[in-house]
Structure 1
């Protein structure tokens, strides 16, 4: 990472990406110095994260969280205390739609990273705050008020894998929707067929919602060890879940024998149903009626519709299809796919 040194108000400061001199000009007098300083801090943090090649979406979400912290407290970062941090998280954990403990922990980590950036002497914010406001940033979350040290598991206990009967009910509901639409002579049968195939494929390969939308036809591949699986022996996931804003992780998912029934599902989709959407040269495995790539939201809506039609627990979500216990894997001659 390129660095050089410059004089800022008589001090020598390293010009690393995110340093105060790069975000806040020393020769400008602001009418409202506090908001200007806070804005410069956020801009500097964004530059520092961009230099670490973090994704724009991750940077944006972190900046919005810092802004929310400022709005909630009515204070600026150099005025924040552990009490303010605890009150902010407590507020988010209350009300009709409280955030999960895992989300609270993530928020604490994000805010702690921002404060850690401000406290880093290489960026010059502490001296600048002391000079202009007589106060300096301090740690907001520590061992005594952090969710990370309060519990070992932050997940909602209501979230669990679907059992075999629930998976069967989900697939039956998705298939029945196709028959119902056709019987009523309404449009939407092709979409319902696609939605049913999507849900079954997610279950068979264990992919996430967003990962599934980014899969292309070329990502389905043969493997020498399982020639009977044809071109569906493995699925290349090129847009896997990233960690801490890093680029997407890549992985290959192998089809297991217990899930070989999905070969027929995908074969029918690719050879018969997908061509009816007139996708042309579109590379996506899952396409829409307007020849676009299916969105994560659409996949989630398909799951919710099937879950409702199947009379399943509302606490079950699409992500739980990835967490089926191995003992629940249905055998190929047991699962009826309609």
Structure 2
């Protein structure tokens, strides 16, 4: 007999009361399983949004299969995966995420530590099994599974985008139109994404207190370093923080000018910490950044595959082209692995040819020395 104080959080013994007859036992047990799984995940200190999303996926799988977890089979997973690919066109990474949620739920309800299999055997004469296996789920074989058309922007494209953004400001001011402030803000947002290699969410969540001096770069004043507090999270964990050193003085000048001369003109700026404010006094959201980028991109006739994240790719590529140490670039953009940074890099033909020429010259010099 397992004592109460030895029963782990999320177990059937804690979620279901012994001797109580359930009005709708199948639904009640399934809900109790999800409740127990939530407790177990909270005990592992996973983020609430992660837990909520996993529960949503498990319920979707249950609806698709038309069965309760103790009657799920590997065939149900096969059919669901086929539907996700053929009918819904889900990306590989999305499918793998869905399958991963179901796999973890099955791990939980089949574990003897939580006694759900035993409970189901008593109530329904059967028990849950693991339905996700190597042969019927997607495997993470590639470092990058995003859109293959996604690429860094060339220096010329970056310059054209930033010039166009500046032109929108001048046009609004010249014509006396409402929107000059937001146009100036958006132009500075794009310069900041490129100048520090940020993601949309990272730039959106910047506060006015996220900049400070770097003793190694006194000429940059209070903008020598940027504190990114909402970096991309690892699965189930909170946002990762990092410090990004400022390496593009022109971007620092642009950001400082915005904070000193433009941001104070926005309504409610004094009571708000956000760097990027809306005309109503709220924080600029990633979706709004993406929409403005798309409008400028389309006006310039650029590839529709280009998105704000491509500016981050460009930051990595252009620093590498300029001879910056790849390890430094990796730390700047917050990549845990050098292979991820390599994926972002799309060096130009000129850079490749220069590197090839240097390699050939070294090889020829070595041959000469051996003669």
Q: TM-score, normalised by structure 1?
A: 0.87
Aligned equivalents of 2:173 and 2:128: distance in 1?
64
Residue 137 of structure 1 is matched in structure 2 by 128
Query: Residue 156 of structure 1 corresponds to which residue in structure 2?
Result: 147
2:69 to 74, 77, 83: 77
Matches within 5 A, 1:325-336: 326-329=316-319
The superposition leaves residues 20-47 of structure 1 with CA deviations (integer Å, 9 ceiling, x where unpaired) of 1222223332232111111111111111
Matched position secondary structure for 1:235: strand
- Contact between 1:14 and 1:123, CA under 8 Å: does it hold in 2? no
1:244 aligns with 2:242: no
Please say if residues 172 and 310 of structure 1, whose CA atoms lie closer than 8 Å, have aligned partners that are also in contact.
no
Q: What SS does the aligned partner of 1:237 have?
A: strand
Look up the match of 1:294.
284
Alignment map for 1:1-338 (pairs within 5 Å): 5-6=3-4, 14-95=6-87, 98-148=89-139, 153-256=144-247, 259-278=248-267, 279-324=269-314, 326-329=316-319
C-alpha separation in 2, matches of 1:108 and 1:327:
34
Count, aligned residues: 319
Q: In the TM superposition, what is the alpha-carbon distance from 1:252 to its structure 2 partner?
A: 0.5
Q: Please report how far the alpha carbon of residue 188 of structure 1 lies from its aligned counterpart in structure 2 after TM superposition.
A: 1.3
RCO greater where, 1 or 2, for CA within 8 Å and sep 6 or more? 1
Whole-Å separation in 1 of the counterparts to 2:257 and 2:172: 19
Q: 1:199-242 CA deviation, whole Å, 9 max, x = no partner? A: 11011111222222222111111101111222221111122221
Return the offset for 1:325. Answer: 6.5
SS at match of 1:186: coil
CA separation of 1:60 and 1:327: change in aligned 2, threshold 3 A: closer
Unmatched tracts of structure 1, length 5 or more: 7-12, 332-338
Contact 1:173/1:309, CA 8 A, preserved across alignment: no
Which deviations, in whole Å up to 9, do the C-alpha atoms of 1:143-188 show, x marking residues without a partner? 1122116666533212222222222232233223323434443311
SS at match of 1:167: helix
- Over 3 Å counting, the alpha-carbon distance change for 1:151 and 1:139 in structure 2 is farther
Q: 1:313 to 1:44 in 2, by over 3 A?
A: same
Counterpart Cα distance in 1 of 2:175 and 2:100: 52
User: For 1:271 and 1:325, how far apart are their aligned partners in 2?
Assistant: 25
User: C-alpha distance in 1, partners of 2:206/2:145?
Assistant: 30
Provide the rounded CA distance (Å) in 2 between the counterparts of 1:170 and 1:148. 38
Larger radius of gyration: 2
Separation in structure 2 between the aligned mates of residue 309 and residue 219 of structure 1, nearest angstrom: 33
Structure number with the higher helix fraction is 2
Residues 194 and 325 (structure 1), Cα distance of their counterparts in 2 relative to 1, 3 Å cut: closer
What is the CA–CA distance in structure 2 between the aligned matches of 1:325 and 1:167, rounded to whole Å? Answer: 10
TM-score under structure 2 length normalisation:
0.80
* Counterpart-to-counterpart distance in 1, 2:59 and 2:161: 41
Segments of structure 2 that go 5 or more residues without pairing to the other structure are: 323-371
